[in-house]
Amino acid sequence: MPILSEITLYPIKSCAGIALQVATLTREGLMTQQIYDREWMVVDAAGHCLTQREHPRMALITPRLQTGTLELSAPGMERLLLDLRQPDPQHAPTIMTQVWDDAVLAYDCDAATAAWISAAVGAPCRLVRFHAHAERKVSEKWTAGIAASTLFSDGYPVLLAGAASLDDLNEKLRRAGRAALPMNRFRPNLVIAGIAAFEEDYVATFQFGDATLKPVKPCPRCPMPAVDQASGIVGPDPMDILQSYRAKPELGGAICFGMNCIVADGAGQQLRVGQEIGVALAF
């Protein structure tokens, strides 16, 4: 029986995640204690998003939940506390940010927070938070016309991967004389155990009790899986192995791992590690 084996929420895009036992599913992605997945983002002076692609040290910026605050830590630095109360939309400073092709209004951080995040990343930057009045719609090219929205994720509210898919890749890596990789290299929100390797590619819906997730687009991969999430060091890239069997013609030959999903039904429902999942195949 398929089960939900891992839940991870990433408060800050491209920084470390928080492993959860329970999370609330919203239209924009996972949420816990009023903290949303990819609600914050690191940007440069022009408002463009920064990621581990160029700044692998971002993997070492680690969030931790506190009552009313999000605590950030990084090696060799004092901890930073972020107030979780929503800023006043009428008076809080704002900045227009760029997430790939999307321009998104965000709350800007203060000077002290900018100095802290710049030191942690190793480059001048700022921390921003998704604005209460902003909306970022996903491309309906892949959702069959179903409207959906997300915050600062790469493109969709939830990223899901099968545990057996990683097992399959790791077996190929071992045969090539290379070390196995942990799932955090691929940064999914949800990991499903009990399905065949890459079966998630062919699923019409995942049923989590009263909540329904619809996979809509394979997740194209950049070089980020080469970044060791525990050290922030770039190592051997698994893309050469994945290239041999995970290139998707429908995405122009992009190498894919995991599925981007939208919430088809049941926003507000809770997901729990260990819960059984219904799987409906698309054929």
How far is residue 180's CA from residue 39's CA, in Å, rounded to a whole number?
31
> Is pLDDT above 90 for 16?
yes
3-state secondary structure string across 243-262: HCCCEEHHHCCEEEEEEEEE
Do 129 and 262 fall within a single domain?
Answer: no
Total of domains in the chain: 2
How far is residue 192's CA from residue 161's CA, in Å, rounded to a whole number?
6
Final residue in a domain of this structure, among 95, 120, 136: 136
3-state secondary structure string across 137-164: ECCCCCCCCCCCEECCCCCCCEEEEEHH
How does pLDDT run across 130-142, given as a tens digit for each residue? 999 999 999 888 9
Do 175 and 233 fall within a single domain?
Answer: yes
| 119: in domain | yes
Q: What is the pLDDT of residue 283?
A: 83
Q: Whole-model pTM?
A: 0.97
Final residue in a domain of this structure, among 106, 136, 166: 136
> Is pLDDT above 90 for 200?
yes
What are 127-130's contacts with CB under 8 Å, separation 24+?
A: 127/12, 127/40, 127/41, 127/42, 127/43, 127/82, 128/40, 128/41, 128/42, 128/43, 128/47, 128/95, 128/97, 129/39, 129/40, 129/41, 129/87, 130/36, 130/39, 130/40, 130/41, 130/104, 130/106
Do 163 and 253 fall within a single domain?
Answer: yes
Q: What is the pLDDT of residue 265?
A: 95
Q: What share of the chain in percent tops pLDDT 90?
A: 94
**Burial of residue 38, with CB atoms counted within 10 A of its CB: 0-12 exposed, 13-18 middle, 19 or more buried:** buried
Higher-confidence residue: 200 or 90? 200
Residue 172: give its domain's CATH number: 2.40.33
pLDDT category, 106, cuts 50, 70, 90?
Answer: very high
Q: Rounded mean pLDDT of 168-173?
A: 98
Do 194 and 254 fall within a single domain?
Answer: yes
> Is pLDDT above 90 for 102?
yes
How far is residue 283's CA from residue 281's CA, in Å, rounded to a whole number?
6
Beta bridge partners of 8: 19
Q: What is the pLDDT of residue 70?
A: 96
Higher-confidence residue: 163 or 222? 163
Q: What is the pLDDT of residue 34?
A: 87
Final residue in a domain of this structure, among 108, 136, 164: 136
Expressed as residue numbers, the domain containing 219 is: 3-10+138-281
